[in-house]
Amino acid sequence: MIIPTLGTGLFIGAGQALAVGGPAALVGSYVFISILMYCLATAVAEVAAHQPRTFGTMITHGYQYSSGHLGFALAYLRWYSLALLVPFEVTTAMVSLGQWDPAPSVAVRVTAVTLAIFLFNMLPEREFMRSEILFTGLKLFTTIGFIIVSIYMAIRGMPGTSIRGFRYWHEPGPLSEYLVSGHGGRALGFLQCLLYIVIAFSFIPELIVQRAERRDSETPSSILRSTRLSSLLLFTLYTLSAFMMTFMSPFDEPLLTNNGLGAGASPFVVGIDRAGIRALSTLARALICISSLASGRSFLYHSSRTLCALAETGHAPTLFTARNRLSVPYVAVIASALFSIFGYLSVSVSSSSVHNSLMYFITTSGSISWLGACLVYIRFRRQTSEEGFVQVYQSSIQPYGAYLSIAGCAALPLANCLLMAFPSPPADEAPALSGLKIRNAVPVYISIGTFWMLYLSHRFRTSLTQGFTSFRTVPIDQGQNKVGASSAESSGQRVWWEMARPRKESSAHPVEAGPTMGP
């Protein structure tokens, strides 16, 4: 099933990607990243199918198959990145409503959206899941509706307008030049286009597999099958939507980048505005805003449950396991919701700029998470081979898909460094690009630095008590290929400041996380 976090990264993020790369680069970028994510998702699903755990993908597999340092850094990176997706969605809502300029009224709207997201997460689990189904259906309806409108405008046009077809592929053209002219500029435009559309895929493979772990823990073969199906459905919908966007707006439309300040209008909205259908334009903006709210509430849910699971497995203070009478881990929800304060930056800075800063931080963290997941998979595959286990649930594209994912995920942050090496054009020649690169690069390096700070601080803490350790080679269970494998799991928790200490032999199977993760 398609998870409920789809939507706004596609609706808004693709606008900037279209502006810098052109229609051909936009479609090519979505195809490339979709292939990359499919390879990654199937690799993660293999590990999950071996020994399904509720929070295996997000937390315990990193500790089990790699070093405790990497497991710690990846788990916390996923927690705070998912939490930062909440203010990202809030600023996306402001952008979709056209609230680009900083003003006191923006604070009121940010507060309203943030409060709605928080209150949804204080609902009982069953009620939250019911609302999840409703919002997922609404976003699917919105996406499919945009596709239908795009097709209609492309082949028939609206009253008073001409048929569009592939007009924007011919004029202004299939590829845009970025930073420099000629073929080099088109290549750089494709690279920047890739960086812009990654936000639509951030943490999607992990969340898809985690959902499959929760639903199919008793039937491991279903985990890989469910992951394949969900990935193909989601990535097909993304690529088709991106293709339809190329019929709706030319890449030189200033509204796509809010006149060079950052995120702007969705290509779907631009196309509807150009057709002069005011009522449909208002409806489209409202639906994108609601999609932002729906995605924000889902990300806060995933973030808070990840933090709660970290606490229940002994990797965070037990304070975060506290639940109210509705069984809501309210302390974890409050702690994760505190990141929403970044949404108030839109009061003093353009919401388009805030959107881009959060986007670059989150996408870089997502790339690091994907790299870590691939390393965990390679360690898992090596250990199962050394132990002589036969992987019953294995994807035909692995391990080559994992190596492709490693190369692709490592190249994404490096691409931003490459773009930084090119001087910005003069402001009077390209106001949409001048001065934008520095603002985009800073969040990338902060994200990388934060991850290394987590990793090195955990390693330093370990060295004080146990000496330096590297990747562990521990005996692993044959998992679902042997009856009663789960009975070997250890019980009991470690206090969070002792998480660096190596486990005994029975600890090859980390403690099962308590709460269940939503779809």
Q: pLDDT by residue (tens digit) across 191-210? A: 889 988 998 898 888 888 88
Predicted local confidence at residue 411, as pLDDT = 87
Separation CA 137–CA 158 (nearest Å): 27
Distance of CA 496 to the CA centre of its chain: 27
Predicted local confidence at residue 517, as pLDDT = 36
Predicted local confidence at residue 121, as pLDDT = 94
Would you say 482 and 391 are in contact if contact means Cβ atoms under 8 Å apart? no
Predicted local confidence at residue 118, as pLDDT = 95
Predicted local confidence at residue 500, as pLDDT = 37
Predicted local confidence at residue 213, as pLDDT = 82
Count Cα neighbours of 415 within 13 Å in the Cβ-side half-sphere: 21
Q: pLDDT by residue (tens digit) across 161-189? A: 566 778 888 888 889 888 888 888 888 88
SS3 of 431, please? coil
Does residue 396 have a pLDDT over 90? no
Rounded to a whole number of angstroms, the distance between the first and last alpha carbons of the chain is: 9
Please give the domain boundaries of the chain with CATH numbers for all domains: 8-461 (1.20.1740.10)
Q: pLDDT by residue (tens digit) across 461-483? A: 877 776 555 555 444 554 444 43
Mean pLDDT, residues 55-77 taken together: 84
Separation CA 361–CA 446 (nearest Å): 7
- Please report the sign of the dihedral spanned by the C-alpha atoms of residue 118, residue 122, residue 127, residue 132: positive
**Confidence at 423, pLDDT banded by 50, 70, 90:** low
